[in-house]
Amino acid sequence: MSRDVYVVHCVDTEGPLYESVEASFERLKEIFGINMEASAENLRKLQNQEIDLGGNEKLVADAFAGKRIQTLATWDQLDEMLDELMSARFRNAFPDSDGKGWVYNWFCLDHAGFTGDNPRRRDAGFGNVYRHYHRKLLENKCEKIDLLQFHYHPLPFNGAYNYAGTAYVNSNNLFQILARRVLDHHAFPAAYRAGMEAERPDAHWFLEQWIPFDYSCNSYLKENAERQPDLRDGRYGDWRRATRKWRPYHPSHDDYQVPGTCHRWITRCLSLDSRLIKLELSDVEEAFIQAGEGRAAILSFSSHDFRNMCDEVDYARGLIRKASEKYPDVKFHFSNAIDAMQKAENLIPEYAGLETEIHMDEKKNTAVFRIRAHKNIFGTQPFFCFKTVTGQYFWDNLDYGENAGEWSYVFDEKTLPADSIEQIAAAVNTPGGMTEIAVYHVKKKTTEHYYS
């Protein structure tokens, strides 16, 4: 029995985003099929519902309201907001039941693998957004408060920067991003948010291999999506059959939207304020009611970092304040995405205890790399990757050992010669969400371990 609400603020962390007036009218045509001259005057009229749109005036005004299209277009603009958000004054303006301040979960995206023009001026490159946020957390002395995790937009078939696909396994891009995060930043995610909240079977099975905590479920009333022409019939994030309770569930192998026997946890996460969904007081009260009945609740909601988030955080805090006053016996805790899962589901936070060794045969230019885990890992094998001396990154499956928790990999002429490898890494999560990475440096013949 637990009378606690764990508040998890997830941020789809994508860096600066520029949107011109012309781009707003391009989206107007894409979403609503309305073709209109792009001008600041016409945009103002749309926002004020002064143009006859055949009954869609309110929908269009909401979709193109100033708070939605006024984006932070440069890192300088975004950093100014981040310094405010991360300040002790802002964090602690409304403390939780433990007297602690606000917590952010930065789910970082790599703008990598896209082609063609970059009209929204995204910061393109492997790890660019992650590196920037890692530096900002250190600058603001909040690296022990906030969490850096993983957000991914599958590549669309046209490769455009300002679109997202839904397929995970039709390119090597996802594995390149994760391999570089492991080898370059010594980080591997235990929590995840899908781009556009879009999961399909291949994404479901990919996550089931390595990432235990999934904050992608934006289960909402079907009628909300039916009013958005570009999001009907489960377009992108289809969570119509998923629970609207504030409690994680194990998904079914055949349908990620319903409970089953898979191992990862999926939990509901609504947008703080979007044209599709907006977190309401009734949603927050439902979490408090659930907790009051003795079932711990994870109240999770999302934002985008390229919009000014200060008002959104204040809005969320206002809802939580009202609910806490109405249900004073329920405690609420501002949490990171991993702690919330561990506490809500009584998961054991233990490390896997990785061991690695390598046997080199310099005459044959071969090597056998072995990995052991002394505790259960999440999934069936570590995430295994390596970097060559020429700067290429690779992911591959492992061979199973004779005993449970043992794996190996052979470097030879059928894979890559041993002398072509610079670094080798294995990354694992445990069922309780503890992350461990082992990186072997071939030239130094040393292994380094990283824990989070």
- pLDDT, tens digit, 9 for 90 and up, residues 123-167: 999 999 999 999 999 999 999 999 999 999 999 998 888 888 889
Residue 2 contacts residue 288 (beta carbons within 8 Å): no
What average pLDDT does the segment 393-421 reach? Answer: 96
Cα separation, 25 vs 138, in Å, equals 39
- SS3 of residue 169 by DSSP: coil
Q: Which of 223, 219, 210 is nearest to 182 (CA)?
A: 210
Confidence of residue 174 (pLDDT cuts 50, 70, 90): very high
pLDDT band with cut points at 50, 70 and 90 for residue 222: low
Chain position carrying tokens 């599709």: 276
* Pair of tokens at residue 245: 């309770």
For residue 1, pLDDT over 70 is answered with: no
Average pLDDT, the chain: 93
pLDDT confidence of residue 14: 97
Quote the CA–CA distance of 268 and 291 in Å, as a whole number: 15
Q: What is the mean pLDDT of residues 21-46?
A: 89
pLDDT above 60 for 379? yes
| SS3 assignment, position 152 | strand
Is the four-CA dihedral 155, 159, 165, 168 of positive or negative sign? negative
pLDDT at residue number 203: 96
Indicate if the pLDDT at residue 278 is higher than 80: yes
pLDDT band at 221 (very low <50, low <70, confident <90, very high): low
| 34-48, 148-162, 177-191, 349-363: which is most confident | 177-191
What confidence score (pLDDT) does residue 196 get? 86
Cβ neighbour number for residue 199 with a 10 Å cutoff: 26
pLDDT of residue 227: 60
Residue 103's nearest CA partner among 288, 294, 249, 320 is 320
DSSP 219-278: ---HHHHHTSGGGGGG-SS--TTS--SSS-BPBPSS-TTSB-S-SSEEEE-EESS-SS--
* pLDDT, tens digit (0-9, with 9 covering 90-100), for 73-87: 999 999 999 999 999
d(CA 435, CA 187): 8
**What are the structure tokens assigned to 423, written together?**
């670094």
Q: Across the strands, what pairs with 271?
A: 302
% of the chain with per-residue pLDDT over 90: 80
**Residue 287: helix, strand or coil by DSSP?**
helix
Give 26-55 as a DSSP string: HHHHHHH-------HHHHHHHHTT-S--TT
220, pLDDT greater than 80 = no
pLDDT for 5 beyond 60: yes
